[in-house]
Structure 1
């Protein structure tokens, strides 16, 4: 496209279209088409549901400085507003990109930068490239937010619980999704918790003071600056805001979209606690218990998926669930005491745990659809270099974290952790959810059933479910644990290990049979060696060169 406002039409065939700079319009037409955004942007947001992309870039301006008797270059920020349709492949920028996909099968390349890439529905292929990326395969559950206090209104909207008996006393983590009006920031209260003796018992608000707009916390009627700039969340985009307070140590931590922005310990707060059974409000400040609301302090925007935990969530837990909707048996989620989601049918917030409802001060808040991706798909997700966060969500996904300490969640479906690209051997343990060596170094993961190893010497350990462990190349050790597992050694001299079995095992490599203990239901392929249990095992080889180790027990080899 070059400079200027261009109209680009691909027509039939498999086309490559480069938007360039300017307010361009592009139509890929028929075929499998590639849309590229070049490398000039310092920030890029692409939404294939709406067919809109917004790119921000630095514009260079030269002015003559007579005092210096020279030309001086300055930069201003400019924005391109682009539209597009009928593309299947997207090549993003080298900057920090945001991508929201639709229900089609899409291929997305994040390249460099700390990208947030959401494939939406469909079977997507996503490669984050370099940088610390956050990647979602599917967001298959529609999520709604309740809109409060739009400009021009009386600004009296808020949601409340007049007697929140489950308010944590000494350790609390709050996580919520919000979409704030970027033009209304001054002293806007996000959460207010008050008791009879303390109207600012636990309050989070945006303080638009002369020293700079930032998030601030009131705890036990004392105010604490965080230094977190309001611009991180007051930009009109959807964000997950998470904050925690540990009254035993006095430590405060704040996260935006799963990334830690602030952490500090205040010694004066150590050993303090929050009073229970108070009045909880979102969207307004209480200058008296359950009242004294000031429209000038109201929150303008939308909120939803509000979670409160009795305890301090770790950075890894917050990062993994930053854009997730919690699902399954929520009573099993450690520390979760409330999870309110906006219900557009009733116009109220419903607690997924069934207690402690949030009531709206208005007859019904306006509905804001946070995301609705369509159907789930089988995705291929690659993090590349950097410390990435990857969420498979629904579908049977293949996830490759690449280098870096990655946090990965397979979600629903039969999902595979893929380390085939590692340049050295890996140790991967599905039971503990951790990895070491090679590309697995520092990795944490959950929701995976299968593992593909590298071309080197790997140790792959399953869990109690049915797992498929593929060693590919190298001399691998495969330990499926319980469940009916597929153990494929691939090339090299590979070992099926039953160390830790709860009973003796009987395995015949020549017959391809396995029974007893953790071997029950297992299928073995390209396995040369066997390790038994601490019980009485029967281990039989084949016509190849086998190493049979009985370990403990009265074994027959």
Structure 2
């Protein structure tokens, strides 16, 4: 039976209760039966059968076979020869009222590069190695480790978090997103789920309507197809919307603070760096607000199609249209035109920094170029 899993030896059996079973250095078979069981194979080529209930299956040293059965099971994979088989019914994600993400389903935690098999919903990469993680056709949750990871959701409506390291994240098919919850300036609840984390990440939305968040590094975000939301986060970021009607956020989240000498315009998501934004095809929305403190550049603002998003209840022209002609251009106090491009400067922050926004190839703006409400 060399190279095969065997059940010829007497199995180690659980009960109908919650059991903790451990194998030996031999090739063992552990059967949890009913209940919430923890099975640890130990050394050898072990077979672990969880049975009914939410079980934890840890193969241990050696190439092990782990079968979960009914219930939402957790598998720990540490050997390239480990095999996970899930025979329970498929499940999906859910969100509690608090907005924190959790998954209702089966998960694999591993120190290896890993592709989820059929019936497994979640993958968590452990340790610090540079690993890859791939989903399946289900709605998946993928989480990286502190290394440089490549994470791909494949088909389905996925949530992906890069954590530390310089990660590459692919949303794949489906409407991907919604790991973090917040309320935007219109009171809409949003969830973002292609999240880069601490490194300098590259994130691809793929097909569907996706939510991309770069995190704290110098990130590159590609919305690709669909109506996508892109948040650069901290760092010097490049945001490219692609096809569809996309929204790009130019600064950190801030819903309450007001500058001492001027208005607050809303909120945005490029962060505290100098960001470059390319909306691509479609009607794109660029949002910015009171915590905006970078020197940002929009490369393809199309008048009559794209808009700059302003917080409801504020009257832009009362603050910026200094000559009262209904047009924002170089004749106004906080606007200048150089080399055929319009630059708007904002109010100094608490450090004295004066952020700016430049629209390449645009020399003036009118009310139709702004989205306001209230």
TM-score w.r.t. length of structure 2: 0.50
TM-score w.r.t. length of structure 1: 0.36
Structure number with higher relative contact order (C-alpha < 8 Å, ≥ 6 residues apart)? 1
Structure (1/2) with the larger strand percentage: 1
